[in-house]
């Protein structure tokens, strides 16, 4: 008789991937979330029982072997309380990831940005190299049938645990990655983030340092960090097999995925593959077929001749890289205006990095900010931040440009005539107003970069639907 597992908060990226893992292990999988979504709709199609209301009966009317929940679930949650009352084994998401990691040769991919891309690239290389591999990441991968979990070449390891690979995205928030038992660690970069938890940059770096101490004596450490940046996270007497800057790859793959930042992600994945005795040639051949992730510089549509790109960036560094990549795309394809529709993620993060955020939009022509996505924000966080003042500072930092152009902002929709214009940033106060501006002023040959970790992708979806 198969075992039963219940995932409370199954609609999240990580939890839905974990649900698919259990499904692949022949568990009966159940889960709940507070509302239906595209994620939960897909899980139901895959055979998972889903409840869109969290209540104790979901637990008491079934006999579960395991109950998994996310950090966001309070201890007053009725399902959590019912699981405790029934003495069902309970684990948080990353505690479960840690348990899985003990049964595999685990490659933990960490860093402020690029975790999902690098982890999925490495897992794809392992799959294409006919290695037995599973992988859990926080994004949907085009090469994996649009899913965030992959299992490939089952049985290829001939029962040897050291040849069964687990590639996992290892998040630093709340020191979550300390639950993982890694055999190999990749660090893509270390731009301080999550200061709502870490409070200081020093604490942020200390968390990475503690994570690296978990690497076994003959484990591999892969990173292209150099100088002061790497010294901030290296523990004392840390002597693993290191791959990275001094072991640079001989050939750069020709990637199908866009964005100059993806080249460094690919380099990390190739070095990690080489540490697993996969040839550079085979790794490159795999990545040249790799199609990328949803919402990672993802060209989702061309509406007429307007190009729509979705991206997940929500930290100043990754935001700047995405905008730069979009500007490169505009230049390379001889396109016209670059629109950036940015939804900051968290009031606390936006306030912590405000001075950095306002400097990253120089390569955009128009910036539209519909709102700030609330996540783990206190009322104090919200009240202390003035979004209109934030947008005014962004516009003040954007370069003023003298350029002749046929479409005119502020003189009525789609009025024509050659004028001088300046770059602009606007707080649009909602998705509806943002869509109206795009509809009135985005023209053929323009590029619209819709960017953020919240629900801002709904703007691109609505814009595409309105034109179809």
CATH number for the domain including 41? 3.40.50.720
Residue 459, domain member (yes or no): yes
Verify that 177 and 43 share a domain, yes or no.
no
For residue range 443-463, what is the model confidence (pLDDT) as tens digits? 999 999 999 989 999 999 999
Helix axes 261-275, 316-332, angle to 10 degrees: 110
What's this model's pTM, rounded to 2 decimal places? 0.80
Verify that 335 and 205 share a domain, yes or no.
no
- For 209: left if phi > 0, alpha if psi spans -120 to 50, otherwise beta; the answer is alpha
For residue range 311-363, what is the model confidence (pLDDT) as tens digits? 988 889 889 989 998 999 999 899 999 999 999 999 999 999 999 999 999 99
Indicate the average pLDDT of the chain: 89
Verify that 167 and 84 share a domain, yes or no.
no
Verify that 137 and 70 share a domain, yes or no.
no
Verify that 258 and 394 share a domain, yes or no.
no
User: Rounded to an integer, what distance in angstroms lies between the CA atom of residue 383 and that of residue 444?
Assistant: 40
Task: Report the sign of the C-alpha dihedral through residues 354, 358, 364, 368, in that order.
Answer: positive
CATH number at residue 164: 3.40.1190.10
Q: Which pLDDT value is given to residue 414?
A: 46
Q: Which pLDDT value is given to residue 445?
A: 95
CATH number at residue 453: 3.90.190.20
**How many helices, marked H, and strands, marked E, lie in the chain?**
18, 20
Cβ within 8 Å of residue 193, ≥6 positions away: 112, 172, 204, 315, 349
Look up the domain containing 235 and give its range.
102-287
Domain C-terminal end among 49, 66, 92: 92
Q: Which pLDDT value is given to residue 249?
A: 60
Domain C-terminal end among 92, 116, 141: 92
User: Rounded to an integer, what distance in angstroms lies between the CA atom of residue 391 and that of residue 320?
Assistant: 16
Verify that 258 and 109 share a domain, yes or no.
yes
Strand ranges, E, within 210-277: 220-223, 241-244
Residue 293, domain member (yes or no): no
User: 39, 52 in Cβ contact below 8 A?
Assistant: no
Cβ within 8 Å of residue 412, ≥6 positions away: none
- The total domain count for the chain is 3
What is the pLDDT confidence band of residue 161, given thresholds at 50, 70 and 90? low
User: 170, 177 in Cβ contact below 8 A?
Assistant: yes
User: Rounded to an integer, what distance in angstroms lies between the CA atom of residue 132 and that of residue 165?
Assistant: 6
Verify that 107 and 232 share a domain, yes or no.
yes
Per-residue pLDDT, averaged over 26-50, amounts to: 94
Domain C-terminal end among 67, 92, 117: 92
Cβ within 8 Å of residue 32, ≥6 positions away: 6, 7, 8, 9, 10, 50, 51, 52, 53, 54, 58, 79
Verify that 275 and 236 share a domain, yes or no.
yes
Verify that 87 and 120 share a domain, yes or no.
no
Residue 207, domain member (yes or no): yes
Residue 97, domain member (yes or no): no
Per-residue pLDDT, averaged over 224-237, amounts to: 83
Verify that 218 and 360 share a domain, yes or no.
no
Residue 115, domain member (yes or no): yes
Task: Give the torsion through C-alpha atoms of 452, 455, 389, 353, to 10 deg.
Answer: -40
Evaluate if residue 106 carries a pLDDT over 90: yes
Residue 200, domain member (yes or no): yes
Verify that 146 and 279 share a domain, yes or no.
yes
Per-residue pLDDT, averaged over 428-436, amounts to: 97
Verify that 114 and 198 share a domain, yes or no.
yes
């Amino acid at each position: 008789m198969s075992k039963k597992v219940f995932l409370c908060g199954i609609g999240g990226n990580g939890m839905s991937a974990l649900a698919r893992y259990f499904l692949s292990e022949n568990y009966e999988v159940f889960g709940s979330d507070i509302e239906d979504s595209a994620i939960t709709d897909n899980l139901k199609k895959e055979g998972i029982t889903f409840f869109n209301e969290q209540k104790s009966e979901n637990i008491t009317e079934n006999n579960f072997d395991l109950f998994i929940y996310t950090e966001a679930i309070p201890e007053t949650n009725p399902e959590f309380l019912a699981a405790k009352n029934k003495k069902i084994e309970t684990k948080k998401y990353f505690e479960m990831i840690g348990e899985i990691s003990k049964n595999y040769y685990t490659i933990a991919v960490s860093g402020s940005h690029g975790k999902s891309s690098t982890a999925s690239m490495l897992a794809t290389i392992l799959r294409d190299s006919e290695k037995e591999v599973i992988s859990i990441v926080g994004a949907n991968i085009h090469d994996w049938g649009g899913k965030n979990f992959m299992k490939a070449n089952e049985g290829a390891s001939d029962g040897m645990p050291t040849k069964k690979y687990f590639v996992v995205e290892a998040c630093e928030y709340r020191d979550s990655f300390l639950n993982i038992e890694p055999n190999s660690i990749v660090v893509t970069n270390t731009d301080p983030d999550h200061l709502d938890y870490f409070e200081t940059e020093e604490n942020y770096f200390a968390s990475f340092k503690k994570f690296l101490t978990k690497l076994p004596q003959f484990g591999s450490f892969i990173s292209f960090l150099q100088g002061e940046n790497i010294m901030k996270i290296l523990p004392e007497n840390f002597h693993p097999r290191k791959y990275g800057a001094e072991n640079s790859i001989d050939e750069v793959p020709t990637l199908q995925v866009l964005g100059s930042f993806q080249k460094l992600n690919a380099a990390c994945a190739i070095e990690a593959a080489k540490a697993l005795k996969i040839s550079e040639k085979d790794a490159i051949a795999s990545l040249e077929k790799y199609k990328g992730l949803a919402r990672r510089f993802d060209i989702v549509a061309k509406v007429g001749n307007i190009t729509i790109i979705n991206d997940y960036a929500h930290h100043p560094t990754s935001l700047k890289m995405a905008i730069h990549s979009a500007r490169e795309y505009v230049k390379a394809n001889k396109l016209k205006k670059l629109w950036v529709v940015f939804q900051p993620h968290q009031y606390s993060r936006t306030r912590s990095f405000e001075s950095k955020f306002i400097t990253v939009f120089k390569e955009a022509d128009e910036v539209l900010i519909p709102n700030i996505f609330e996540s783990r924000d206190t009322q104090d966080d919200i009240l202390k931040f003035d979004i209109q003042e934030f947008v005014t500072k962004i516009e003040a930092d954007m370069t003023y440009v003298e350029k002749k152009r046929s479409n005119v902002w502020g003189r009525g929709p789609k009025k024509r005539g050659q004028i001088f214009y300046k770059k602009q940033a606007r707080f649009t106060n909602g998705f509806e107003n943002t869509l109206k501006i795009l509809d009135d002023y985005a023209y053929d040959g323009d590029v619209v970069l819709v960017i953020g970790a919240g629900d801002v992708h709904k703007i691109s979806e609505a814009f595409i639907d309105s034109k179809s």
